[in-house]
Structure formats: structure tokens, C-alpha cells
Amino acid sequence: MQAQRILKPIELVKKNAEIERLGLEKQHPEASKIEALRVNALVLARQIDEIRCSSAHDLADLLAR
């Protein structure tokens, strides 16, 4: 029970820090460029994951033969 009481304030501090960071990012003069880069990075990461998964499936198929 004691651990739960300690974690809640820590989680609250982390959430408040994240909210403040996001607010500062939106005020940045190049916030739209930052957001575009973030979106492009997520798309690229998904594409990499798709390639890795398809390669793993292809390799598994070859090994099964």
C-alpha cells in the first residue's frame, strides 16, 4: 500500500512535466516543422517494421522448406 501512495505523486509530476513540454513545443516558432518531422519519423518507423516483419516471414518460409 505504501508504494502506491508514493507512485501517484511521482506519476503526477511526470504528467505535468510532459504537459509543460508539449506546451513549449507548440509555442516554438518552428512547431509545424517539428510536428512534420515527428510524423515522418513515425511513418518511416512503421515502414521499417513492415519490411523487417516481411523479411522474417520470408526467412521462416525458406527455412521451413
**pTM: predicted TM-score of the whole model, two decimal places:** 0.51
Number of domains in the chain: 1
Give CA–CA dist 43/52, Å, rounded. Answer: 14
pLDDT tens string, the chain, 65 residues long: the values are: 455 555 567 777 788 888 787 777 777 788 888 889 999 999 999 999 988 888 878 878 878 87
One-letter amino acid for residue 20 of the chain:
E
Listed residue (1, 43, 8, 17) closest to 51, CA to CA = 43
For residue 22, what is its C-alpha cell?
508539449
Residues 6+ apart with CB under 8 A from 60: none
Cβ(34)–Cβ(25) below 8 Å: yes
Residue span of the structural domain in which 54 resides: 2-64
